[in-house]
Amino acid sequence: MNDKKSKKEQKTSFCPVAGKCGGCQLQNMTYERQLGFKEAKVVKLLGKYCHVDNIIGMEHPFHYRNKVQAAFGSTRGGKIISGVYQSKSHRIVCIDRCRIEDRKADEIIVTIRSMMPKYRMTAYNEDRGTGFLRHVLVKRGFKSGEIMVVLVTGTVVFPGKNAFIKELLEIHPEITTIVQNINNSDTSMVLGETEKVLYGKGHINDSLCGCVFGISPKSFYQINPIQTEKLYNKAMEFANLTGKETVIDAYCGIGTIGIVAAKEAKQVIGVELNRDAVHDAIANAKLNDTKNIRFYCADAGEFMVDMASNGEKADIVFMDPPRAGSDKAFLSSVVTLSPKKIVYISCNPETQARDLSFLVRNGYKVRKIQPVDMFPHTAHVECIALLTRVK
């Protein structure tokens, strides 16, 4: 690539708040260079275990985030602003449009901000703990097109609520449901415990890999559905299910991987510590009429040790831990259960490398590694590893 072309491509990718936001660390690289950078990172960390397949990128790596979250505040002059927190601070960078966020979600957030003065609606002040609107969260179903708007407020009282909702729906009739989430705690957590459905059913549906999933304000759902389908399809390819297997879906969340796997497995057991997520997972299994899956609210590691103690076996374990990876107790429990295969999906190849080292020392061999670019223009890379038991 010549320098002239490289500079031109860097210029066209420039974001006006790049220096403040900090969200898209690689945006001044061409997308091809980003993919090369991420693949090289995975090779460096995991290449000693086996060959690393070429990274799976996006055909159109923009506006992929189906979940958009905006913090609200005010300038010293009293102007209401919304956007993201500046890197390593709690100062809000005002953003109207973002090249990786869903366009419609951005439009709705800007509309809400512009309506606030008319309804004498104040933005929350973190320092004083006063004000009304703290955050707006918009989730959009990629295939269903359904849109959920969550208004996170500092108080239960919502002045002019009915008129505000009516006008918002007149401007954006595409909105499926509106929820008020009350968060009056001095916390960095976005969502509070209490919710009130203001319009619609309080959740939306979307489909993934031929299955339907309900998405609530608090439920975790992958933010890039196009790449998630590629990720899950590759994970199923690695698992190579025949219909005879007992599968464990550890860290199962709302049941996405387990329900997809249940189409090809004999039975699936999903284990998750978050009670709300388990509730959503059970509802999702019913939504898909999936009868060969069970969900348990438990620590996945302890659950697998109990299975082994009772003489029960699993053929495959799917594990998709948080960025911190798995702790030694969990990995030891996997080894104790001794499945024939482990499909390890990671959002952090550094902690995945550490965990693979433990599993390799305890009777497993890494057979395949597949990086997937789930978050274009950021430094993050997802990675699937297939391990098989060798002793």
User: Which residues are marked as active site?
Assistant: 347
Length of the chain: 391
3-state secondary structure of 153: strand
CA-closest candidate to residue 124, choices 113, 110, 114: 113
For residues 276 and 193, what is the distance between their CA atoms, to the nearest angstrom? 11
Residue whose structure tokens are 């998709």: 320
In this structure, what token pair is assigned to residue 75?
A: 């300038």
Q: How far is CA 212 from CA 148, 199, 208, 236, 286, in A?
A: 16, 22, 6, 17, 10
Q: Which helix (H) or strand (E) holds 138?
A: strand 133-140
Torsion of CA 102, 107, 108, 112, to 10 degrees: 140
CA-closest candidate to residue 345, choices 308, 376, 383: 383
The string of DSSP letters for 288-302 reads TT--SEEEEES-HHH
Q: Which amino acid is at 13?
A: S
Query: 154, 134 in Cβ contact below 8 A?
Result: yes
Q: How far is CA 360 from CA 267, 274, 367, in A?
A: 27, 29, 11
